[in-house]
Structure 1
């Protein structure tokens, strides 16, 4: 048989260390150091035996001699070392592309690398000329393929199930990915120490076939054993174990470990979470687990600001005490002031809130929250002062799906176009949320959907009412780099009540402004009496955005918003929709994109501006 066992022989394609940079592994990163005695050179790379410009481009991007030509190495020795490193890199790239009979010839000042090493000084002109000649040879395809396990009870899939198909191009990265998937499958089946024990890869130069045999060693299967915790200071270790939900006695699962890590990280009390399996399975078949955590600072103070031309300037601040009693509790005190600038002190909007949150209140997947808040709102349509006491229990059903139920009592004193009135509402609240976004502040794929319902009774007016609202946002990247993203939002709501007046003004539906229909005055879109907006018992809104990331830090957005609110219980589209259009710029930061939007109302009414400007953190939706 005419064959070459890669890694043991160098004919005719030079062998590459299979555990090195390519094709079956990754090299260690070279430490970046300041260049002493920089030694400039010129370099050309030529490809013979094929007309593939794409292959040449890949070789040039792989070559340090080519890609780093503008950064000279240190001295002649540095140049020769770079050339030696390039030899392995280029052969590895040929393997990745399926060429196993190629040759790579690198010459420095006309000398082979071996000859250059023996020279006391490189001859010829400066900068020193470097030439790279690559002959890829024939393209190889997969031939004989085999995936095996050393344990009969630990089954592995077929080569095809791991992406290795006879007759397809023998891309070496396919072999690497197959190995990773084999090991991942075995670990998911309960074998924590699974590994590839043997890799036999033979290039048959007579048939241009690559034969692959992979042998996996599963090791012992295991069940989760005792879970211990290290690194806690103020936190109760038993609470950490409970929240992790690593069920002792159940089959080992990497997915369970990932979920536990996320669940603990989401508590917000740890700066790092790491779950480490024991070194070996015990005689009882159980594998001990250690949760290593590092606690965050318990006291947090934060401030923020926002501004828009239609809503004015606002500031907010908060103080939070994390891990209040050592089991993840959170105490928050928040305050904000809005509509600063041209308004007098009596016309400022303000809000204050004190809240308590307890995770794991009724099991590790539940969170109890309660809060007391006071607020004054003064949009152009009404003035409302209200105090609200509420309590909720939130339940997670999966990483994407959650629901909460609770109750609230709200007292409101309001003045609007209907006159002065007070309300005392008691309501039962239900809400369900589904969120698959890849990033909460700058999503590029997924959806975010929320549905809300609250039957309530107003003891002052003697009226029953039902508040309902739903909104869904969707995101889709148009390219692999996720530089072009389409985003859409659709929201609607209805209040079943005897009349608009029976509903507290702050609970009615108003449209217009940021987060609604940009370009219009804040809460200035909806039904009117004597030219004044009253708010409605129903609404519908939609937004569409095209987001483009121009550089790593700068992005552009074009958008259109449309919607309206209506006096009727359900939207009456015969009344038409208000439309706003605009564009914006984004500056991407580690904490999310800074947003600047400019919008124009297409069919403005009284008090609407000719244009509006919005500034904030994160995308608009």
Structure 2
């Protein structure tokens, strides 16, 4: 096609685009001209000029153009248009739309009751739950409500009166309610959700949105069939194990109970000699027609066994014999998982191991109805064995006390520790060496030999002492608090001591050589070693002693009894009380070295007074010490919400008396009172006490401050 022909075709298409031409073309569909006939020669010769002339007017177009228009007359008929005029069309009559009611919130008190005899539980201003009034229809109501409050989306998010937000939360809470109802076995329960205005009888703002859930629990499903897999392979232990699984046919279904009983059965297997028992997760098949659920929990006992020995992976560090000694079982005892876990804790408590992995290994398979034998392989990972430690303490009456130590906890395997320690303080200086053997000749038994030299400068006396002390004991530790603790020992003491005269001058020193057999026992019923909240403790000390002073030998008995009691009151308050009685019969006061006499006062005694400054006084006003002592203390440990509850406030009052005779005379009773602050740490409370003497003597300060770790008693 040439450019000329293309231009002519474009002009023709433009012409065909004219509405009149299109109408005529539509009218004459029976005699349609060819495209070539519509293009004149002038358009072909000079298409630009021809196209600029426009459409040539027809006779009919001229007639229409010259006819005047009458505003009141209809338009003249157009021969090319056959569509009737709208006045000639009869349209069907449409029924008028009914007016819509205005959208309003549903008023809870006007709505149709979902639970005909329901009772409301208003969780918050935004949330109302309605339960059946009859308690027997849903006896778990209180527990159910507590769990829902803890998990509710509406309760957890802020209340901002936003209806869209509340509607979304309501859908989530509806699903939560249905899940909780399933937990209690109400698988056909109905939960009806309504979003509307707050009940006018209980709300202040009638325009704020709220959600109401009507709960229709329906029938609670019961347990149908129970399949515990191969549990009968446990043989004569089957009845005991089946009794440990406390779900029976016909019991109400509780998903919580199903989970709890899986744990109980697993525990029973582990405590009955089945170290390799396996339990798969339980499944519940619910039958809505029967209103029952069938429980399936595959169990494989995998044989019953007895304990063999403990096999150490590092016998030179901790021997197999030593580990077997500290285990709480004897060889041949039925395997129990708790004893295996106890051995792991005991091994970690030595401080020698960073980690312990215990694995039962079959030595002999069960046969002829008799249990097999398993050894316990112990994979050991060493911990750092050396420790450098230090501490600082301060009391307004005692002054500053710095203590430091270095120790190697396994210098003499197994568990043979050597410690070098020292004290530098205002009133005391000390250097000593300690040897300790843990788990010696039995579990939790400790042999300790301590040799040290010290100087002490108290208001009551001055002493230079060398001591050798050996003890064999079984006492509570931070990991193992024991109901019964005991200790026996031997003390050899050489001390040079002097009292002070009225001018405060040191008198001539006297030499004392002392041998003692200290004994100790304690019953502990409290719930925590460092921060007890309930229970009691009762302890006693008895130390027969022989003393030689300037060629004169004396025999006496130092004795002491302590009793403490703790009781929780409310949610965050603990009341604590303590009483102490001590006596030294058998020798006059002057035959007893000043360091072995009885004193009171200080942070662990009667707060508000100086350390060991309560008792009979000499002419200079310094305490002489005594042969009898009575102390009483009471305090309230009140928790606060400060620092996430870590801080508590402790008001307290103490009293104490020291007498010259073995029996108390109460001639001089000192009282102290004050308030303290406790900060809970991961290893016990940090204590700060500020105390005031209520009846101070001439040498007592008006206030005393004490800082220490742990409660005062």
Structure 2 length as normaliser, TM-score? 0.66
SS at 1:496 equivalent: coil
Task: Report the CA distance between 1:380 and its aligned residue.
Answer: 1.6
Which position in structure 2 is the counterpart of 1:545? 635
Alignment of 1:292 with 2:379, yes or no, is yes
Is 1:589–2:671 an aligned residue pair?
Answer: no
CA distance in 2, matches of 1:366, 1:587: 32
Q: Alignment partner for residue 611 of structure 2, among 518, 522, 546? A: 522
Say if 2:453 is the partner of 1:374.
Answer: yes
Task: Check if 1:331 corresponds to 2:418.
Answer: yes
- Equivalent residue for 1:271? 354
Q: Does 1:458 align with 2:584?
A: no
The structural deviation recorded for 1:466 is: 1.1
> Which residue number in structure 2 is paired with residue 413 of structure 1?
496
Q: Following the alignment from structure 2 to structure 1, what is the Cα–Cα distance between the partners of residues 594 and 131?
A: 78
Residue 425 of structure 1, CA deviation:
0.2
Q: Does 1:318 align with 2:411?
A: no
Q: Take 1:238 and 1:105, find their aligned partners in 2: how far apart are those partners?
A: 68
Asked if the contact 1:242/1:364 (under 8 Å) is kept, the reply is yes
Q: Deviations over 1:499-549 (max 9, x none)?
A: 111111111110011100111222111123334321111212222222122
8 Å contact 2:226–2:248 — kept in the other structure?
Answer: no
Displacement of 1:209 after TM fit? 8.0
Question: Does structure 1 residue 506 correspond to structure 2 residue 595?
Answer: yes
Deviation of 1:584 (Å): 1.1
Q: Quick one: distance in 1 between partners of 2:650 and 2:218?
A: 48
Q: 2:582 aligns with which of 475, 485, 493?
A: 493
The reply to whether residue 431 of structure 1 matches residue 530 of structure 2 is no
In 2, the alpha carbon distance for the partners of 1:246 and 1:157 equals 22
Q: CA deviation at 1:389?
A: 0.6
Name the CA distance, whole Å, in 2 between partners of 1:167 and 1:489.
Answer: 54
The C-alpha deviation readout for 1:542-561, integer Å capped at 9, x for no partner, is 22222122233211112222
- Contact map agreement 2:659 2:665 (CA 8 A) in 1: yes
Counterpart pick for 1:47 among 117, 122, 129: 129
1:15 counterpart residue number: none
Which among 641, 646, 660 is matched to residue 567 of structure 1?
660
In the alignment, is residue 440 of structure 1 matched against residue 533 of structure 2? no
Change (3 A) 1:486 1:163: farther
- Contact kept? 1:106, 1:130, Cα under 8 Å: no
Aligned to 1:190: 273
Q: Distance in 1 between matches of 2:461 and 2:437?
A: 36
Cα distance in 2 between the residues matched to 1:423 and 1:478 = 50
Once the two structures are superposed, the pairs formed by residues 180-329 of structure 1 within 5 Å of their partners are: 180-194=263-277, 217-230=300-313, 234-278=317-361, 282-283=365-366, 285-329=372-416
Asked if 1:476 is matched to 2:567, the reply is yes
Change (3 A) 1:438 1:49: closer
Q: For the residues of structure 2 that align with 1:476 and 1:175, how far apart are their CA atoms?
A: 36
Instruction: Select which of 599, 617, 621 maps to 2:709.
Output: 617
The worse-fitting range, judged by mean Cα deviation, of 184-193 and 135-144 is 135-144
In structure 1, how many angstroms separate the alpha carbons of the residues matched to 2:523 and 2:333? 29
Identify, as 1 or 2, the structure richer in helix: 2
Distance 2:221 2:340 in 1: 38
Does structure 2 retain, via aligned residues, the 8 Å contact 1:156–1:186?
no
Q: Is the 8 A contact 1:521 1:607 kept in 2?
A: no
Per-residue Cα deviation, 1:386-437 (whole angstroms, up to 9, x for no partner): 1111112225799432322221110111112585422100112222233454
Shift of 1:181: 2.4
Structure 1's unaligned 5+ residue stretches are 1-42, 71-75, 109-128, 340-347
Alpha carbons of structure 1 residues 276 and 405: separation in structure 2 relative to 1, 3 Å: same
The Cα shift of 1:331 comes to: 0.9
Distance 1:321 1:204 in 2: 66
Distance verdict in 2 for CA 1:189–1:568, change over 3 Å: same
Alpha-carbon distance change, 361 to 100 in structure 1, aligned in 2, over 3 angstroms: same
* CA distance in 2: counterparts of 1:515 and 1:411, whole angstroms: 27
Contact 1:417 1:534 in 2 (8 A): no
- Name the structure 1 match of 2:558: 467
Cα deviations by residue, 1:558-600 (Å, 9 ceiling, x for unpaired) = 2222222211112234x25322222111122223222111122
**Could you tell me whether the CA contact under 8 Å between 2:689 and 2:707 is conserved in 1?**
yes
Show CA shifts across 1:298-346 (max 9, x none). 111111111122222221111111111231111111111223xxxxxxx
CA RMSD of aligned residues (A): 4.1
Aligned to 2:43: none
**Aligned residue in 1 for 2:215:** 135
After TM superposition, list the pairs within 5 Å mapping 1:118-157 onto structure 2: 135=215, 137-138=217-218, 140=220, 149-150=231-232, 151-156=234-239
Structure number having the greater strand percentage: 1
The Cα offsets for residues 346-370 of structure 1, whole Å up to 9 and x where unpaired, read as: xx42122210001243344532210
Comparing 500-509 with 529-538, which one deviates more in the overlay? 529-538
CA distance in 2, matches of 1:556, 1:67: 31
Cα offset, 1:145, TM superposition: 9.8
Q: Is the 8 A contact 1:485 1:546 kept in 2?
A: yes
State how far apart, in whole Å, the 2-side matches of 1:474 and 1:562 are: 17
Match of 2:693 in 1: 601
Deviation readout 1:160-196 (Å, 9 max, x if unpaired): 9777699998654234333322332332222234455
- Against the structure 1 CA distance between its residues 133 and 554, is the aligned structure 2 distance closer, same or farther, given a 3 Å change threshold? same
Partner secondary structure for residue 513 of structure 1: coil
CA separation of 1:546 and 1:273: change in aligned 2, threshold 3 A:
farther
Between 212-221 and 268-277, report the one with greater CA deviation: 212-221
Kept after mapping to 2: 8 A contact 1:351/1:375? yes
Distance 1:185 1:576 in 2: 61
Q: 1:586 to 1:233 in 2, by over 3 A?
A: farther
1:67 aligns with 2:166: no
- Cα distance in structure 1, aligned partners of 2:685 and 2:153: 34
Structure 2's unaligned 5+ residue stretches are 1-124, 134-140, 160-164, 196-208, 502-506
C-alpha separation between the residues in 1 aligned to 2:131 and 2:171? 23
- How many pairs are equivalent? 540
**How far apart, CA to CA, are the structure 1 residues paired with 2:612 and 2:573?**
31
Local SS of the residue matching 1:620: coil
Any idea what SS the aligned residue of 1:154 has? helix
Query: What is the alpha-carbon distance in structure 1 between the residues aligned to residue 180 and residue 362 of structure 2?
Result: 36
Aligned match for 1:362, one of 416, 433, 441: 441
